[in-house]
Every structure is written in structure tokens, then in C-alpha cells.
Amino acid sequence: MRQSLARRARRRSSAGRERLRFDGWIAGVGTASGTRVVVGHWTRSPFGAFTDVMVERADGTRTLLAPTTAVARFVADTYTFDEVRVVPVAVRGGPGGGWSVTAGPLDLRFATGRRGTLGTLLRAVPGALAVRPSWCALLDVPARLLAGVRTYGGAGGGRREWYAARDLLPITAARTTFDGVDLGALRPVVPPVRFGFGSTPPGPCLVRVTSTVAVPGTRATAAGERRRRP
């Protein structure tokens, strides 16, 4: 069953790039200390279900917290980090309620509020249309102008990435600690994080998203990553 899901999460484009699809949720929060945190909770992907956490400190240091070597390698090849750690990652909770995320030195707890107008509009787009790369590319300029986010761009290793937002819930409360130190009250994700070509929205939020990554050649396929896993 998991192999079947992984096959469905991989597509090959006419240009010879393998397209890897990740379905799940992205949470973005800022803190009074200046640290910003982005959580990717992926319920379906070529790697199976997993969660990874990206942290940018006030001094600009960018850290990836990943659950396996294979996930760490793929994410680090796609985005930019100063430090990569493979650590136990656990998530409790779910959309519409409270979330608890632990990843090595990081502990994040947050709650979401009621869906607003933008979330309602995103849910109204048919799923088959919303996840098309061509649709995501079309929305890139309006998304930049209206929400300050990107939906399409270049990634590391000659990769390309499309983000299809399917829902959005505001994060109304959060508590974040790193190495046991409280990072302060919830704040906007400002300045934008610098892991890739775009950031999460400035307002703390939880977004249901489908991310499609086009990988040139076959070396970086998820199957290949799993074969190289120690």
C-alpha cells in the first residue's frame, strides 16, 4: 500500500523531469525573539508520511530538523541551510485544533482559529485544478502582490517547485522553545524566511498545501534516496 502511494506521488513530465508530490500542511510562526519556524507535516509523499522543521534564528542562521537521513538529504538539496540535524520528530493534533510539534531541540505548540475569507476561497478551487503546476505558476504574481508569497520558483540542484494552497487557518496562539529556552510570544513571520525562493505568509498560519518538486534526471528520486539510506 505504501509503495502504491509513493508511486502515485511521483510523476514524470514531458521534459524528462521527475515530479515528486508532497501533500500535507505547512505552519509558519514568528516569535518575539526573532526566530521564525516553518513546519512541514506531510501526510503523503514519495518518502511516506513525515514531518520536518525549518528554523531561522534572529542572526540569520538556518537549521533543518529532519526525521531521517534520506529526508534530510532531499530537503537540504532543495533548500538552503547552514546546519542540518537528523533528530526524532513527533506531531500530535491536527487541523482545526491544537498542534504539538517536537523536533530535537525544538518544541512548538500552537492553536488555530476560524477559517477566514482566503481559506474559504482556497477551498472552493477544485482539487484537480489547484494542484496543476500551470495553475500554480499562473497564480505566482497575484500571490506575491496580494499575500506576499510565491507559488512557483527555482530550487536547489536545478529543481523547480510549485506550491498549491488548498486551505488556510490563522494561528492564534503559540509557544516555542529551543534548547529549553522560551522564544517569546507569537509574532508575524518577519522578516521572511530564506530557505528557498519564497516564505510563508507574514501572518502566522497553517496552510494545507500540495508541493510539487520537479527533479532533473533520476539520481534524486525518492526510491534512490531510500536505497542510499544508511
- Which has more pLDDT, 164 or 79? 79
CA dihedral 111, 112, 114, 115 (to 10 degrees): -170
Q: Is residue 227 part of a domain?
A: no
| Average of per-residue pLDDT across 129-155 | 68
Respond yes or no on whether the N-terminal peptide bond of residue 95 is cis (omega within 30° of 0): no
Q: Is residue 49 part of a domain?
A: yes
Q: Please tell me the predicted confidence (pLDDT) of residue 194.
A: 92
pLDDT tens for 175-192 read 999 999 999 999 999 999
Q: Is residue 226 part of a domain?
A: no
Q: Please tell me the predicted confidence (pLDDT) of residue 13.
A: 47
Q: Please tell me the predicted confidence (pLDDT) of residue 220.
A: 42
- Is the pTM higher than 0.85? The answer reads no
Question: Does residue 137 have a pLDDT over 60?
Answer: yes
Q: Please tell me the predicted confidence (pLDDT) of residue 174.
A: 97
Q: Is residue 43 part of a domain?
A: yes
Q: Is residue 156 part of a domain?
A: yes
Question: Does residue 229 have a pLDDT over 70?
Answer: no
- Counting the structural domains of the chain, the total is 1
Side-chain-facing half-sphere of 145: CA atoms under 13 Å: 5
E strand intervals along the chain = 10-12, 18-31, 36-44, 50-56, 62-66, 83-86, 89-93, 98-103, 106-112, 152-154, 160-178, 181-182, 186-187, 205-215
Q: Please tell me the predicted confidence (pLDDT) of residue 199.
A: 82
Where in the sequence is the domain holding 58, given as residue range(s)? 2-218
Residue 44 binned pLDDT confidence (cut-offs 50, 70, 90): very high
pLDDT mean across residues, the chain: 84
Q: Please tell me the predicted confidence (pLDDT) of residue 145.
A: 56
- Which has more pLDDT, 46 or 136? 46
Q: Please tell me the predicted confidence (pLDDT) of residue 111.
A: 96
Q: Is residue 225 part of a domain?
A: no
